[in-house]
Amino acid sequence: APALLETAATRMQYPEEWFESEEEAAAYETEYRAKLQKVVVNMTRILPGSTLALLGAVFAPRIAHLGEVAWNEAELLLTLVYAFGDGVGAVLHEHASPGSDMFEMVCAIHASSVTSHSHPLVLTAYFDVAVRYHHVFHARPDLLPRVLEAMIGGSGLRSGDAHVRARASYVLLRLVTAFRDDEALTRDNAGYILDGVQEFLHIPFASVFIEAGASGGGGGGDSKEEP
Protein backbone atom coordinates (compact mmCIF):
# COMPACT_ATOMS: atom_id res chain seq x y z
CA ALA A 1 0.00 0.00 0.00
CA PRO A 2 2.71 2.60 0.81
CA ALA A 3 4.38 1.87 -2.54
CA LEU A 4 1.10 2.38 -4.41
CA LEU A 5 0.50 5.59 -2.51
CA GLU A 6 3.94 6.93 -3.40
CA THR A 7 3.49 5.98 -7.06
CA ALA A 8 0.12 7.73 -7.28
CA ALA A 9 1.42 10.81 -5.46
CA THR A 10 4.56 11.24 -7.55
CA ARG A 11 2.69 10.71 -10.82
CA MET A 12 0.39 13.57 -9.86
CA GLN A 13 3.23 15.96 -10.58
CA TYR A 14 2.54 18.12 -13.61
CA PRO A 15 5.09 18.09 -16.44
CA GLU A 16 7.18 21.25 -16.11
CA GLU A 17 5.95 22.51 -19.48
CA TRP A 18 2.29 21.68 -18.72
CA PHE A 19 1.22 25.26 -18.23
CA GLU A 20 2.13 26.04 -21.85
CA SER A 21 0.95 22.79 -23.39
CA GLU A 22 -1.80 22.31 -25.93
CA GLU A 23 -5.36 22.64 -24.60
CA GLU A 24 -6.33 19.03 -25.40
CA ALA A 25 -3.18 17.63 -23.78
CA ALA A 26 -3.67 19.85 -20.73
CA ALA A 27 -7.26 18.63 -20.34
CA TYR A 28 -6.12 15.01 -20.46
CA GLU A 29 -3.40 15.69 -17.90
CA THR A 30 -5.89 17.36 -15.57
CA GLU A 31 -8.32 14.44 -15.80
CA TYR A 32 -5.55 11.88 -15.26
CA ARG A 33 -4.28 13.82 -12.27
CA ALA A 34 -7.74 14.04 -10.72
CA LYS A 35 -8.01 10.24 -10.80
CA LEU A 36 -4.61 9.86 -9.15
CA GLN A 37 -5.57 12.39 -6.47
CA LYS A 38 -8.71 10.38 -5.74
CA VAL A 39 -6.48 7.35 -5.16
CA VAL A 40 -4.34 9.35 -2.73
CA VAL A 41 -7.41 10.66 -0.88
CA ASN A 42 -8.97 7.21 -0.57
CA MET A 43 -5.75 5.65 0.67
CA THR A 44 -5.29 8.49 3.14
CA ARG A 45 -8.78 7.78 4.45
CA ILE A 46 -7.68 4.20 5.20
CA LEU A 47 -4.02 4.75 6.07
CA PRO A 48 -3.47 8.38 7.10
CA GLY A 49 -0.19 7.45 8.74
CA SER A 50 1.23 6.26 5.43
CA THR A 51 0.46 9.56 3.74
CA LEU A 52 2.05 11.47 6.60
CA ALA A 53 5.12 9.26 6.40
CA LEU A 54 5.38 9.85 2.65
CA LEU A 55 5.06 13.61 3.04
CA GLY A 56 7.61 13.62 5.83
CA ALA A 57 10.17 11.45 4.10
CA VAL A 58 9.92 12.54 0.48
CA PHE A 59 8.51 16.07 0.42
CA ALA A 60 9.12 17.73 3.79
CA PRO A 61 12.85 18.31 3.13
CA ARG A 62 11.87 20.67 0.28
CA ILE A 63 9.51 22.84 2.32
CA ALA A 64 12.05 25.43 3.41
CA HIS A 65 12.88 26.16 -0.24
CA LEU A 66 9.38 26.16 -1.74
CA GLY A 67 10.02 29.56 -3.28
CA GLU A 68 13.04 28.29 -5.20
CA VAL A 69 12.14 24.75 -6.31
CA ALA A 70 10.54 23.99 -9.66
CA TRP A 71 6.92 25.10 -9.75
CA ASN A 72 5.57 21.59 -10.36
CA GLU A 73 7.41 20.25 -7.29
CA ALA A 74 6.12 23.02 -5.03
CA GLU A 75 2.58 22.69 -6.38
CA LEU A 76 2.59 18.92 -5.85
CA LEU A 77 3.66 19.19 -2.22
CA LEU A 78 0.98 21.78 -1.46
CA THR A 79 -1.67 19.76 -3.27
CA LEU A 80 -0.81 16.62 -1.31
CA VAL A 81 -0.98 18.51 1.98
CA TYR A 82 -4.39 19.80 0.94
CA ALA A 83 -5.51 16.33 -0.19
CA PHE A 84 -4.57 14.91 3.20
CA GLY A 85 -7.40 17.02 4.62
CA ASP A 86 -9.81 15.47 2.12
CA GLY A 87 -8.72 12.03 3.21
CA VAL A 88 -9.08 12.44 6.97
CA GLY A 89 -12.21 14.58 6.68
CA ALA A 90 -13.93 15.68 9.88
CA VAL A 91 -11.05 14.54 12.09
CA LEU A 92 -8.53 16.85 10.40
CA HIS A 93 -8.12 18.82 13.62
CA GLU A 94 -6.97 15.66 15.39
CA HIS A 95 -4.36 14.85 12.74
CA ALA A 96 -3.13 18.46 12.56
CA SER A 97 -3.32 19.41 16.22
CA PRO A 98 -0.45 21.35 17.84
CA GLY A 99 2.62 19.16 18.14
CA SER A 100 1.54 16.73 15.41
CA ASP A 101 3.63 16.09 12.30
CA MET A 102 1.06 17.73 10.01
CA PHE A 103 0.79 20.78 12.26
CA GLU A 104 4.55 21.25 12.12
CA MET A 105 4.54 20.73 8.36
CA VAL A 106 1.89 23.40 7.80
CA CYS A 107 3.76 25.81 10.08
CA ALA A 108 6.94 25.14 8.10
CA ILE A 109 5.09 25.90 4.85
CA HIS A 110 3.94 29.26 6.21
CA ALA A 111 7.48 30.05 7.38
CA SER A 112 8.98 29.10 4.01
CA SER A 113 9.65 31.25 0.96
CA VAL A 114 6.55 29.93 -0.85
CA THR A 115 4.94 33.37 -1.28
CA SER A 116 7.94 34.52 -3.31
CA HIS A 117 7.22 31.91 -5.97
CA SER A 118 6.10 33.45 -9.24
CA HIS A 119 3.97 30.60 -10.60
CA PRO A 120 0.18 31.10 -10.27
CA LEU A 121 -0.57 27.44 -9.49
CA VAL A 122 1.88 27.46 -6.58
CA LEU A 123 0.35 30.59 -5.07
CA THR A 124 -3.25 29.39 -5.42
CA ALA A 125 -2.34 25.98 -3.98
CA TYR A 126 -0.71 27.72 -1.02
CA PHE A 127 -3.78 29.87 -0.38
CA ASP A 128 -5.95 26.74 -0.40
CA VAL A 129 -3.69 25.11 2.20
CA ALA A 130 -3.85 28.22 4.39
CA VAL A 131 -7.65 28.11 4.46
CA ARG A 132 -7.93 24.35 4.92
CA TYR A 133 -5.62 24.44 7.94
CA HIS A 134 -6.84 27.77 9.30
CA HIS A 135 -7.07 26.32 12.81
CA VAL A 136 -3.25 26.40 12.89
CA PHE A 137 -3.41 30.17 13.35
CA HIS A 138 -5.27 29.84 16.63
CA ALA A 139 -2.20 28.12 18.09
CA ARG A 140 0.32 30.10 16.00
CA PRO A 141 -1.15 33.60 15.55
CA ASP A 142 2.32 34.89 14.70
CA LEU A 143 2.07 33.17 11.30
CA LEU A 144 -1.15 34.91 10.23
CA PRO A 145 0.27 38.38 9.35
CA ARG A 146 2.66 36.76 6.88
CA VAL A 147 -0.22 34.95 5.19
CA LEU A 148 -2.40 38.06 5.08
CA GLU A 149 0.45 40.06 3.59
CA ALA A 150 0.73 37.51 0.79
CA MET A 151 -3.02 37.43 0.14
CA ILE A 152 -3.40 41.21 0.10
CA GLY A 153 -0.08 42.10 -1.54
CA GLY A 154 1.63 41.34 -4.83
CA SER A 155 1.23 37.58 -4.43
CA GLY A 156 -2.53 37.87 -4.02
CA LEU A 157 -5.02 40.69 -4.58
CA ARG A 158 -2.40 42.82 -6.31
CA SER A 159 -0.98 40.04 -8.46
CA GLY A 160 -0.70 40.51 -12.20
CA ASP A 161 -2.55 37.22 -12.71
CA ALA A 162 -6.35 37.43 -12.71
CA HIS A 163 -6.79 33.85 -11.45
CA VAL A 164 -4.49 34.50 -8.49
CA ARG A 165 -6.36 37.71 -7.65
CA ALA A 166 -9.70 35.93 -7.75
CA ARG A 167 -8.45 33.06 -5.59
CA ALA A 168 -6.86 35.42 -3.07
CA SER A 169 -10.13 37.32 -2.75
CA TYR A 170 -12.05 34.11 -2.09
CA VAL A 171 -9.65 32.64 0.45
CA LEU A 172 -9.31 35.96 2.28
CA LEU A 173 -13.07 36.01 2.76
CA ARG A 174 -12.94 32.40 3.99
CA LEU A 175 -10.22 33.26 6.51
CA VAL A 176 -12.06 36.30 7.84
CA THR A 177 -15.19 34.19 8.24
CA ALA A 178 -13.25 31.46 10.03
CA PHE A 179 -11.83 33.93 12.56
CA ARG A 180 -15.00 35.85 13.35
CA ASP A 181 -15.34 34.12 16.73
CA ASP A 182 -11.68 34.56 17.71
CA GLU A 183 -11.52 37.98 19.35
CA ALA A 184 -7.72 38.07 19.57
CA LEU A 185 -7.11 37.24 15.90
CA THR A 186 -9.83 39.66 14.81
CA ARG A 187 -8.54 42.49 17.01
CA ASP A 188 -4.92 42.06 15.95
CA ASN A 189 -5.52 41.76 12.21
CA ALA A 190 -8.76 43.58 11.32
CA GLY A 191 -7.02 46.94 10.82
CA TYR A 192 -4.43 45.54 8.45
CA ILE A 193 -7.08 43.70 6.42
CA LEU A 194 -9.34 46.76 6.13
CA ASP A 195 -6.46 49.00 5.11
CA GLY A 196 -5.31 46.44 2.55
CA VAL A 197 -8.67 45.98 0.83
CA GLN A 198 -9.89 49.59 1.11
CA GLU A 199 -9.15 50.45 -2.50
CA PHE A 200 -11.08 47.41 -3.71
CA LEU A 201 -14.21 48.52 -1.86
CA HIS A 202 -14.45 51.66 -3.99
CA ILE A 203 -16.99 51.40 -6.83
CA PRO A 204 -15.54 53.12 -9.92
CA PHE A 205 -17.63 55.97 -11.29
CA ALA A 206 -20.25 55.60 -8.56
CA SER A 207 -19.80 59.22 -7.46
CA VAL A 208 -20.25 60.40 -11.06
CA PHE A 209 -23.60 58.64 -11.36
CA ILE A 210 -24.75 59.88 -7.97
CA GLU A 211 -23.87 63.48 -8.84
CA ALA A 212 -25.50 63.20 -12.27
CA GLY A 213 -28.68 61.82 -10.73
CA ALA A 214 -28.82 64.55 -8.11
CA SER A 215 -28.18 67.21 -10.73
CA GLY A 216 -30.83 65.84 -13.07
CA GLY A 217 -33.45 65.61 -10.36
CA GLY A 218 -32.75 69.13 -9.13
CA GLY A 219 -32.77 70.59 -12.61
CA GLY A 220 -36.14 69.05 -13.40
CA GLY A 221 -37.70 70.55 -10.30
CA ASP A 222 -36.30 74.04 -10.91
CA SER A 223 -37.49 74.22 -14.52
CA LYS A 224 -41.08 73.24 -13.86
CA GLU A 225 -43.41 76.01 -15.00
CA GLU A 226 -46.61 77.09 -13.31
CA PRO A 227 -49.73 76.51 -15.43
Judged against a pLDDT cut of 90, whether residue 141 lies above it is answered with: yes
Judged against a pLDDT cut of 70, whether residue 56 lies above it is answered with: yes
Mean pLDDT of the region 180-191: 88
Task: For residues 134 and 29, give the distance between their C-alpha atoms in angstroms, rounded to a whole number.
Answer: 30
Q: Higher confidence at residue 129 or residue 217?
A: 129
Mean pLDDT of the region 72-93: 93
Taking a C-beta distance cutoff of 8 angstroms, is the pair 164, 154 a contact? Answer: no
pLDDT of residue 214: 55
pLDDT of residue 220: 47
Judged against a pLDDT cut of 50, whether residue 226 lies above it is answered with: no
DSSP secondary structure, the chain, as one string = -HHHHHHHHHHTSPPTTGGGS-HHHHHHHHHHHHHHHHHHHHHHHH-HHHHHHHIIIIIGGGGGGTTTS-HHHHHHHHHHHHHHHHHHGGGHHHHTSTTSHHHHHHHHHHHSSGGG---HHHHHHHHHHHHHTTTHHHH-GGGHHHHHHHHHSTTTTT-S-HHHHHHHHHHHHHHHHHTTT-HHHHHHHHHHHHHHHGGGGS-TTHHHHHHHHHHHHHHHHHTPPP-
Q: Higher confidence at residue 196 or residue 215?
A: 196
Tens digits of residue pLDDT in 200-216 = 877 665 555 455 555 55
Taking a C-beta distance cutoff of 8 angstroms, is the pair 51, 5 a contact? Answer: yes
Mean pLDDT of the region 161-166: 94
pLDDT of residue 59: 81
Mean pLDDT of the region 19-31: 67
Q: Length of the chain in residues, anyone?
A: 227
Confidence tier at 224 by pLDDT (50, 70, 90): very low
Judged against a pLDDT cut of 60, whether residue 188 lies above it is answered with: yes
Tens digits of residue pLDDT in 101-126 = 999 999 999 999 999 999 999 999 99
**Of 78, 35, 87, 39, which is closest to residue 55 (Cα–Cα)?**
78
As a whole-number percent, the residues of the chain with pLDDT over 70 amount to: 85
Mean pLDDT of the region 170-176: 93
